[in-house]
Amino acid sequence: MLHRDPLPAEPPVHPWYTEPVPAPVWPELAERPARAEAPFAAEFAASVPHVLDLQNLFATRGRCSGAIATCGPTTCAGRPRAASE
């Protein structure tokens, strides 16, 4: 079973894949598309509170204690994930 056989991620794994974005960083992230006049800027900014809610929900579940593995190509090739997922 391909999807049940985790492939260890190549170290070092960039924190983008494993660490949450700190809440104080999100306002700046939401302003960048607006400054670039991206058509999705308003929707992105409106989604930030929901993203923070999800991030907080996952944070209350505890950090991943398993090894980090690379996702299969059907989920997102090269994207590390917890080996227990």
pLDDT at 38: 96
Averaged pLDDT, groups of 10, the chain, 85 residues long: 63 79 92 96 95 84 63 51 53
29 vs 48: CA distance, rounded Å: 9
**From residue 39, how far is each of 7, 44, 50, 52, 59 by CA, in Å?**
38, 10, 20, 22, 31
